[in-house]
Amino acid sequence: MPSNAKPAGPRLYQQVANQIRHVIEQGGFTPGTRLPPERELALQLDVSRPSLREALIALEIEGRVEIRMGSGIYVCAPPAGAPEPLMLGESPSELMQARSVLEGSIITLAVARASRQGLDQVKACLDAMRRDVRRGQPPVEADRRFHVAIAEMTGNSVLVRMVSELFDGRHGLISSRMSRQAENAHTWEAALQEHEAIYQALEARDPHQAAAAMFGHLTASRERWVEESMGAADTR
């Protein structure tokens, strides 16, 4: 049967990017001039700062603005010719919200079906992540395996696929740009400690503590990934 579902509209950051283009065009901001700081723009457009930040990064990738660390947001000359559509990926903040909802539920099922083999696999991923952090290397792959290993404990291949796909959303253009700005040795150390709390709750077979630890980790990750990268272009 044909589907009656309507195609999804523009993502929120795309809508905000259109608003910023309008501000540039109507406000007389010529190439080389500086836009208002992010906090002021967010108030002017009545949008959240995470959504504004994602929109600004989308415009930077497009070549319409330049975000100078510690200096501000500067208007660039529009690219010559018709711009080609860019596959920028999902909203980072929406990805993290989806992961919180999904993985916060998955881990309770993982606790109910926990086996020694499954727990050992999660611990192996945690140990690999710890080694990477100690070496000063971003433990992205070990981080991914950790979350996928927990989903595998449920015995549900659909949940495993969903966790994998949401995690891999971090490789979109906007998410990758924000990751480079927000992730460092300090944030990875914090993430490692949160992973250890998750494993301890799994080991204790405590579904409530496990869900709280997972939700707390993904909430903190969102703050680090999205919110900590927002102030880069704000001037004092």
Domains of the chain and any CATH numbers:
12-87 (1.10.10.10), 92-230 (1.20.120.530)
Least confident of 35-44, 114-123, 192-201: 35-44
Buried b (16+ CB within 10 A) or exposed e, 1-21: eeeeeeeeeebbbeebbebbb
Across the strands, what pairs with 66? Answer: 74
Burial class (CB in 10 A: 0-12, 13-18, 19+), 202: buried
In angstroms, the CA 114 to CA 112 distance is: 6
213 conformational bin, left if phi > 0, alpha if psi -120 to 50, beta if neither? alpha
Q: What is the pLDDT of residues 78-91, one digit of tens each?
A: 877 655 556 688 88
Strand spans (E) along the chain: 65-68, 72-75
Model-level pTM?
Answer: 0.85
Token pair listed for 71: 């200096």
CA dist 89 → 10, 12, 173, 175 (Å): 12, 12, 6, 8
Place of tokens 């080389």: 32
**Residue 236 contacts by C-beta under 8 Å, 6 or more apart in sequence?**
none
Residues 6+ positions from 11 with CB-CB distance below 8 Å: 90, 91, 94
Which pLDDT does position 70 carry in this prediction? 79
Model pLDDT for residues 172-219, shown as the tens digit of each residue: 888 888 888 888 999 999 999 999 999 999 999 999 999 999 999 999
Smallest Cα–Cα separation from 140: which of 89, 175, 116, 115?
Answer: 175
Q: Is the pLDDT of residue 1 over 50?
A: no
